Structure 1
Amino acid sequence: MPIEMPKGLPFSVDTWTPSSNTKKHHFLTHAHKDHSQGISTHSSFPIYATSITKNLTLNYYPHLNHSLFVDIEIGHSIAIDDPFQPFTVTAFDANHCPGAVMFLFEGPFGNILHTGDCRLTPECLQRLPEKYLGKISREPKCRLDYVFLDCTFGSFSSKMPSKHVAIRQVIDCIWNHPDARVVYLTCDLLGQEEILVSVCQTFGSKIFIDKENNPDCFQSLSLTVPDIISQDPSSRFHLFDAFPRLSERAEAKLAEARASFQPEPLIIRPSTQWYVFEDVSSEAKKRKIDRFKEARKDEYGIWHVCYSMHSSREELEWALQLLAPRWVVSTTPECRAMELSYVKRHCSYRNLSLDDPLWKLLDIDLQAPFVNENTHEEISCGTSPLLISQMKSSPERFTKKEILTVSSQVKESSVTLFGRARLGLDNSTFIYEETVKPAVSYLDEYVEAQLSNDMCTNRDALEGQQDESKSNEPKEKVVQHTTACSPKGVGENMRKLYRSMHIFVPKPLPSLVDMLNDRKRAKRRLLS
């Protein structure tokens, strides 16, 4: 599911929510439905997309107003005259599906590459401006400030074959089964048209598609590759739905052929999912290197080929080495970019200065009182937004020494940039709730927040005090926040802050050394 863009940007990409609708400009990278979910309620502002993406989207949502779209084709740039932040956007091929593009935004907010869904091959990257491309041993002339990156297979370390190699494996699998009178191709996903075109050209036969049972796929192929479609069910090649219950339907097809003493049909599924989620036994591990070289048959009789429209971890690492962006944001499941070694090495909050444009992008205004004028030390990004707010509203209550002491006690966050802001940055600043939360749920969230930031809180101590104070807890607005604590305890100013917000002062956990020593002493006493 795509993520919301930061509040400081005047545009949204692939999101159609109340939060993104407040943006003035909207961009659609491609026509897969998970990226256009909610667009049916969208009725204002321009939507920038390629003509293929526009036509496919209008086919899925026929009631959408055609005039909402502004065409931007691959390789073309558009200067957008926004009254507050004028910027330029350029579309580049994303190597994903027909009409899919990456958007390069250049403006006062910096240089931002949003990949959408992509497969970053050398050919794909070479189409980007040369100034943004470096070499393994040399940074680019102009660094991208932010890359919003498709990390769908960011944790998949195996080297996947190229699309061309995968298509060749599909063709070879068909050649190796000449007796199969019917070949079922599970290529009903937008982006797998290249496989169907290659099969059609190689064997001189069109692909039968059941228009009644698969109208969406029929319409998509009619718009992208209409010459390969057939309505004749006697054709050797049939399009086969990958979902739902593919294995059950495949077994049924094979059983039907055996019952009628006919040659078994050939069922081929070009996909990466089976390889990512397959159960790898010890025997399979031995064959791990060879498992991508040819089609493999599973226990249900389905032949699998690793065909991917997304980059593997190896390809993502290689691309980031060339692009060398300042920050990387995962557009797929939360924090998946943190699995990339490039992000671990280079995307660190400690590199940020107080005047870094990042804060403006996040719509956070940090002022001079938070900087040590003598040493130019900075507050850690792990510091609580609530604490920052208190410091900003009442700076006289805190000395700079205290501020820096608090910030130095917070370990560097392990969350990538905008990691806490994936839903429109609603959590980038503290939030007031209109109703009082139950003490149990509030304390659980509080403890989890503390632990997630590597802070020293004692959950048992907090829960032990819960029952005693539940009846005395004031019925007023609750503030969600995360605050740092010292391993040796909490200072007086911090205690006042906790108490002012009607929250228990956290108690530090005993050190591991002390616990081990206590255990040793207890054993000695037992032995003596």
Structure 2
Amino acid sequence: MPIEMPDGLPFSVDTWTAKSGRKRHHFLTHAHLDHLQGFVANSSHPVYATPITKRLTMLQFPQVKEELFVEVEVGETVLVRDLEGSFSVTVLDANHCPGAAMFFFEGEFGNILHTGDCRLSSECLKKLPIRYMAMKGSETRLDYLFLDCTFGRCPFFIPSKDSAIQQVISCIWKHPNAPVIHLACDYLGHEEILIQLNRTFGAKIFVDKIKFPQCFMSLSLTAPEILTEDPSSRFQVCEAFPRLGARAKAGIAEARTRVEPGSVFIRPSAMRYAIGEEDDCSGLERDDSGVWRVCFSTHSSREELEWALKLLRPRWVVSTTPVCLAAELDYVKNHCSLEALATGDGPIWRLLGRMAEQAVAAPLTLFGKARAVEEKRGGEEVDVGFSKGFNPGLRRLYRSMNVPVPRPLPSLSELLDGSRRSRSGL
């Protein structure tokens, strides 16, 4: 579930709530439903999105008018005029699904990269703004990174997309007599697999446009030449949930009864491995129901996240997937701390200062509240981050920073005042 952008920013990304509706500009990274919750009720012009994302969104919500959107292309930089100062937005390929984009914002608020959902492979990283990479002697830094940390807790190696697709191809080659290849590729983001299978085997793929309208449209927009409306085609897209295993087991049993080669069922997905059901995602495997499992991920592995962070060197990182916190990543532990921010200056510090002022009731700030509670309890250790005694604004601030709260520390206002005094020589 995407998170709200800080109040000090004039735009929202992938959130469609009453609060985000009060923003003046809105950005949609891609057309997965978890990034469109509340879209019909709370979206307002302008919504910036790629043409494919716009088309897929309108397919899911026919009542939405085309005039709501402003189309932006990957690789394009647009200037957004705003009452508080214009800012630029560069659209970058997110390597996630058709139409998926990352947005790079530059303005008086500093520079911010919002990845949406992404797979930060080496090829994807090469397309990021080079001036913010870790070049020798470069002092330019990325201020704020909103990062997809979906698999940030997964300790296993996740193969590249190309490697996973080759495993699918290998599985099909090993079953030359299978009458039908059932591909559980109905999820937006699996199109790369289907395109490569068409190139390898020269066969068109049947996608039922009634059952899988989004898959059919995304392929119609990106690779219409691979589609067929012939339901007898050997390659067919099937649904992954809820009965793939039962369907595979029944089909294999029926083929054995008839003493015929059985159909092949292939499920490309990383979720089974990420949640710990399997601990080896390096190769092809067959589960108890007869489904061939391939670890295909449209999200970054932990290794890819760490590598990207070393290249981008952001001053502050926020996970867009709260279940997996950015604070668990090694780079964030070592380079993103409140103490480091307290000694710096610039747009990112001002933004965090505004967040604190809006979220915490005067006169106590985040750490002032923590210290007061600690004094009240006679020095007893207090779990600040999860105290139910704090007001909702304070808890929202803590969650938005995604970092353990150190204790004891001066209040946020004291840190800010101290930083100003040190720079002015007082």
TM tier, smaller: 0.7 to 0.9
Report the equivalent of 1:350: 339
Cα distance per residue 1:478-514 (max 9 Å; x no partner):
xxxxx99xxxxxxxxxxxxxxxxxxxxxxxxxxxxxx
Report the equivalent of 2:360: 385
1:13-162 alignment runs, 5 A limit: 13-42=13-42, 44-134=44-134, 138=136, 140-162=138-160
- Aligned-residue CA RMSD in angstroms? 3.2
Q: Which deviates further from its counterpart, 349-358 or 249-258?
A: 349-358
2 CA distance for matches of 1:412 and 1:139? 43
1:178 is aligned to 2:176:
yes
1 CA distance for matches of 2:406 and 2:311? 33
Report the equivalent of 1:208: 206
2 CA distance for matches of 1:73 and 1:162? 25
The one-letter code of the counterpart of 2:102 is: M
Report the equivalent of 1:361: 351
The 1:413/1:127 distance shift into structure 2, 3 A limit, reads farther
- Which residue among 232, 236, 240 is the counterpart of 1:234? 232
The 1:91/1:414 distance shift into structure 2, 3 A limit, reads farther
The one-letter code of the counterpart of 2:363 is: Q
Report if aligned partners of 1:153, 1:313 keep a CA contact under 8 Å in 2.
yes
1:425-504 alignment runs, 5 A limit: 427-428=396-397
2 CA distance for matches of 1:171 and 1:255? 24
Report the equivalent of 1:340: 329
TM-score by length of 2: 0.83
Q: How many residues end up aligned between the 2 structures?
A: 391
Report if aligned partners of 1:362, 1:428 keep a CA contact under 8 Å in 2.
no
1:222 is aligned to 2:220:
yes
Deviation at 1:184, TM superposition (A): 0.5
Cα distance per residue 1:416-462 (max 9 Å; x no partner):
xxxx99x9988349xxxxxxxxxxxxxxxxxxxxxx96889xxxxxx
- Of the two, which has the highest radius of gyration? 1
**Structure 2 stretches lacking a partner, 5+ long:** 399-403, 412-426
2 CA distance for matches of 1:156 and 1:194? 24
Report the equivalent of 1:472: none
The 1:329/1:300 distance shift into structure 2, 3 A limit, reads same
The 1:109/1:366 distance shift into structure 2, 3 A limit, reads same
2 CA distance for matches of 1:207 and 1:112? 40
TM-score by length of 1: 0.68
Task: Name the SS for the 1:127 alignment partner.
Answer: coil
- Which residue among 140, 152, 162 is the counterpart of 1:164? 162
Q: Which deviates further from its counterpart, 349-358 or 236-245?
A: 349-358
1 CA distance for matches of 2:41 and 2:2? 17
2 CA distance for matches of 1:76 and 1:410? 55
Report if aligned partners of 1:271, 1:304 keep a CA contact under 8 Å in 2.
yes
2 CA distance for matches of 1:347 and 1:229? 48
Cα distance per residue 1:381-408 (max 9 Å; x no partner):
xxx934xx1369xxxxx9xxx99x97xx
Task: Name the SS for the 1:165 alignment partner.
Answer: helix
1:319 is aligned to 2:308:
yes
Using the aligned pairs only, state the percent identity: 52
Cα distance per residue 1:358-382 (max 9 Å; x no partner):
4642563889xxxxxxxxxxxxxxx
Report the equivalent of 2:185: 187
The 1:194/1:362 distance shift into structure 2, 3 A limit, reads same
The 1:411/1:11 distance shift into structure 2, 3 A limit, reads farther
**Structure 1 stretches lacking a partner, 5+ long:** 368-383, 393-397, 430-451, 457-482, 485-528
Report the equivalent of 1:380: none
Report if aligned partners of 2:21, 2:43 keep a CA contact under 8 Å in 1.
no
The 1:9/1:139 distance shift into structure 2, 3 A limit, reads farther
